[in-house]
Homo-oligomer: A and B are copies of this chain.
Amino acid sequence: MHAELSIDRRPWTQVDRAGAGAADPLGVDGVKTTYVRNEEIYGEGEPSAFVYRVLSGVARTYRILADGRRQISEFFLPGDVFGLEAGIDHSLSAEAVSDCVLVAIRRSHLAERAGRDNGTAHKLWSLTLHHLGRSEEHMLLLGRKNAAERVAWFLLDMAKRIPAQGQVDLPMSRQDIADYLGLTIETVSRTMTQLQDDDLIALPSCRRVMLSDRTGLADLAA
């Protein structure tokens, strides 16, 4: 990895000291805001005025079809940034998966600083490239993988992103997982059970997953 292209993923909470008005790692002041579970952060079509960094909790962005079919495009964990979009209006909606605290950074301030400071401009670009890389991986999953491969990939990805050893506490519901993986809630549930029967994982509770056989999961995830 290029050092200059790497992304700072430290949960910002750890260095937060000032609350509202403190500078984000992107170098621009933001306002700390709390959202409760399932609360809307922004909606598709609304003006895209802010970029958000997650301090605690988890957020999701998604698109929805007229008949209610939903595709979650990404989950955002502490340290992650979302809300960067091409147009002046949001083409995605965003909601809180769990109660969460975000820093909202005014997009115009960010643009202004990026115009002056190459470092900020470069960070924003890197962040966008990182998202693009993940969405390409996501497309491969949605277009070409079966249910077991999708779920195995998802669990490994979550284990990578959530700091903990040997287990994952999933922050989202089965419905969220299904809408992220392009499956139904029933298929996700059945697949989890199957992975458990195959001794690849254990499920002490429905939100807690022990990865008993990471190699086996990785083989599946392809």
- Bound together, the chains give a CA A67 to CA B144 distance in angstroms of 11
- Bound together, the chains give a CA A179 to CA B142 distance in angstroms of 12
**Cβ-closest chain B residue relative to A73:** B136
Contact in complex: A138, B139 (CB < 8 Å)? yes
Does residue A165 face the partner (Cβ distance < 8 Å to B)?
no
Q: In the complex, which of the residues B63, B66, B131, B132 contacts A140, with contact meaning CB atoms closer than 8 Å?
A: B63
- Bound together, the chains give a CA A90 to CA B212 distance in angstroms of 32
Does residue A85 face the partner (Cβ distance < 8 Å to B)?
yes
Contact in complex: B182, A86 (CB < 8 Å)? no
- Bound together, the chains give a CA A137 to CA B73 distance in angstroms of 9
| A125-B125, A136-B63, A222-B65 known; A182-B131 Cβ under 8 A | no
Does residue A92 face the partner (Cβ distance < 8 Å to B)?
yes
Distance from A93 Cβ to chain B, minimum over Cβ atoms (Å): 11
The residues of B that contact A130 with a CB separation of less than 8 Å are: 86
Contact in complex: A129, B65 (CB < 8 Å)? no
